[in-house]
Structure 1
Amino acid sequence: MSLRLAINGYGRIGRCFLRALHESPFRERYRVVAINEPADLASIAYLTRFDSTHGRFPGQVATTADGLLIDGEALTVTHAENPEAVDWAAMNLDVVVECSGRYGRRIELERFLKAGAPRVLLSHPGHSAEDVDATVVYGINHDALSGSERIVSNASCTTNAAVPVLAVLDEAFGLDHALLTTLHSAMNDQPLIDGYHHTDLRRTRSAMQSIIPVSTGLARGIERLLPQLAGRISAKAIRVPTHNVSALDIALTVRREVSVDSINGVLREAATTRFPGLLAWSEDPHASIDFNHDPHSAIVDASQTRASGNRLFSVLLWFDNEWGFASRMVDTLHHWQARRRAGAGTRIP
């Protein structure tokens, strides 16, 4: 029997999650039966069918009186502004996939549970570790899920990209410190032209005309997953005028003398044996567009590994900040629900 899902917030990640699930090998095991999104139904259907970044939806999309029809399966669409306005219990759901980004504190997230949602999977880190039952970077700590959790976070796209690389380098060489610079594609909290809309004054500027530094919680997110690095990680973020695919430049110092070949060798081994399907490796002369719709959490660009002396290094990672992250949400969902049903004595293949 398929598990029943609802998506709350049908923006970039909500729509990518639906598509990633549709394209995944788990497609027959999960069914999205509802979407809650304040936008009108015609716009929801249109943006499901056509996407400027990921192309046409690989299936049939139509509208009904109260929702969508995707490949013949009906999805109820509601337009509520808050969790209490949706009767989640009546939908007989297994999980609500929260993609609006509006709810980060436990008191806010529990509003879904009180309104009848049995479990919630977040498309963001939550306000803090204490606000969720677990924060998962798939491939690093997903096996710690017991299945009993009610609120699980899939961390962030940058955390999913950075943590596997930092983990293997720390294990191999010992990290003294790391400084991460995210070169992130434009996001919908930026305007196309200058305008009053944000307390961060830099985000009032046109996303398409400038390279714009913004704040980031990446260092805290990494320390949540790799507590042994607490106090030794720092991060900054710069938005760049591209529509998708981001990069991470990681400058790091290690505790013993090593070479570029040693760094690359460890990362190549991790991509091929430890994290296949999650971490990829390339030596080709890439541009960011090469990784549009790439499902990996990160791709190591070995041609860009640099050294200054024998303890200071720089590593470059590419990642599709939409599709890679949505693909990890599908992986996390499947593992979480497999653990839950296994605990109840039900086998999931």
Structure 2
Amino acid sequence: MLKRKKVWGIFTQLTFLNTIIIAIVIVIAGFTVKNYACTLVNQQEITGTDLEILLNQYLVKVSILAFILAGGFHFILLKWLIHPLKKLTAATQELQKGKRPTKLKNPLIYEVKELNDAFNELSERTAIIKAKQNRLLRDLSHELRTPLTNLSGYLEGLEKGVIEGDQEMYRSLQEETARIERLLEQLGRINQWTPDGEMKNFNHEEILIHELIKRRITIFHVKFLEKGIELDYNIKPFTLEGSTDGLNQVISNILQNIVDYDNGKKVRIDGCIEKEHYLIRFSHKGRRIPIEESELIFERFYRVDASRSLVTGGTGLGLAIAKEIVQAHGGDLSLVTDSSYHTFEIRVPIPK
């Protein structure tokens, strides 16, 4: 309905402008014929058949001139309208070929301006998506290359007899295999919670969020002990609606991130109601994260470490997946940091 109104608006404007042009030409032609007739009768005193012949000849000339003027105005008007559409067509063809077209300037016609704005936004989004795809492929290649190179080196050494297998080596091979399996497993989950993913219409169930968090803490208890991390928590009881598996994964991914990057040996977890959301905070002192990069850590494959070594952390997908799951629940996952003390905040809407 909206598109029809816009199209109708363009046709209305064109019809109105053409009508004005034709009316002006008719009025000019009418006054010209009238003045010429008055001149012939009053000044030259021509009447009868001679007057009729002269008027007919003059009317033909005026009609031709009026046709040329109306056609010229109409041509200029159409060219003024079609020119930005031609630019838009050319830009669309460039976009179709995989190129990034230059930003289109907005014409005076409102409807075409709206179309240009929509195309410019589409072009920007396409460029961003393409850049993210290229980065995803580049990072994925990087993540897989290291463990595969290690596996290949070990196996080649064993085959040629350069090295001998022992328990420590087999453990290293198992770790490299586990790293690849973990990466592939998370890649399989990475788009499940997006708007077009498998879990977009997940079943909502009642969840005792305080019990869910405590169960996750229990599962990570051994890891915290091994790292010497002291855990303190205060979680208010509440019932949410959502996916138990999804929220379990969110809590697990954040706790794993804390285990991998904690420096302060102390973690605080709080859960409470804040306005229309249930708020969960995970606070600890960890490895330095520049404040300007606090949102980037939720990007896929992003790491603060320039080396991007898997030894210093996971696959670079855990927080990205966690954020997508929370957003699928209508909430948000964010990081508040002063570069050394970090607080992950999960906000999940309270059922109405």
TM-score range, shorter chain: under 0.3
Q: TM-score, normalised by structure 1?
A: 0.24
Which has more radius of gyration? 2
More strand by share: 1
More helix by share: 2
The higher-RCO structure (CA 8 Å, 6+ apart) is 1
